[in-house]
Amino acid sequence: MNRRPYILAETNWKEIKAQPFQLAILPWGATEAHNYHLPYGTDNFEATYIAEKSAEIAWNQGAHPIVLPTIPFGVNTGQPDILLDINLNPSTQLAILRDIITVLDRQGIHKLLILNSHGGNDFKMLLRELGLPFPNMLLVTCNWFQALDKSKYFENGGDHADEMETSIILHLFPHLVLPLELAGDGAAKKPKIEAFKQGWAWSERKWSKVTADTGIGDPKKSTAEKGAIYLDEVTKTLGNFIYQLSMIDKSDFYE
């Protein structure tokens, strides 16, 4: 495989010294159980692939992003009893981000995109806090799994080890997926109070009380073909976004 100049882990100091980068992309995932059939690294595999492929699309259009290594741990405060679900507190994420942004800002890369791959991560408040001490930085976060209408690609809904995620991993890493007949059905309980169901009230899900198999969404109709089609569309969408974000003048951001 050829060395990709937009992947920091693959490039070298000789090349990057001569290459001004417009945007740093930080994929951020999690390490956690995904029903019985998917690997613990599901969110990280997705984050890495989608960041790299989307950056390639933007690079080929003339942009110059650089993809940083994926952060493999996320916020899993609602899953303390699930074996080896590794938790990073939001305050830890804030410290990590501050250090990374300090480097970027000092070295003249004044745009950062956090490409989030885990529902438990929420970077908005962190970027609000970091925006004040780093006024030269454009700090952006996006959830790739919200970029498209999933219902156009998958029959069953859900948000964790569901038909979408299972189809993606079946396409990317089929050898890591157990037979679907071994998967749980992903049935999930909902709060009894209507305000939570409607979405205008929130409380953290206590994972073991919500789902018996750690999944939320039935994966049984997943296929590698569905995963390939969805990934193609989502990376095209994100590639265009990364291109636009790379090329835009920070001082001329609004219309």
Strand runs labelled E in the chain: 23-28, 65-67, 111-116, 138-143
Number of domains into which the chain is organized:
1
1 pLDDT more than 80: no
What are the pLDDT digits (tens) for 210-238?
999 999 999 999 999 999 999 999 999 99
Q: In the numeric block, which tokens belong to residue 116? A: 């989030």
Please give the share of the chain, as a percent, with pLDDT higher than 70. 100
Q: Could you read off the pLDDT of 22-73 as tens digits, one per residue?
A: 999 999 999 999 999 999 999 999 999 999 999 999 999 999 999 999 999 9
In a domain? residue 4: no
8 Å CB contact between 188 and 119:
no
**CATH at 159:** 3.40.50.10310
Domain assignment of residue 93, yes or no:
yes
92 inside domain: yes
Quick one: tokens of 63? 């942009």
Q: Judge whether 5 lies within some domain.
A: no
Does residue 234 form part of some domain?
Answer: yes
Task: Say what the pLDDT of residue 18 is.
Answer: 85
- Domain hosting 117: range is 13-252
Q: Is residue 1 part of a domain?
A: no
Contacting residues for 174 by C-beta, under 8 A, at least 6 apart = 224
81 part of a folded domain: yes
Q: Is residue 38 part of a domain?
A: yes
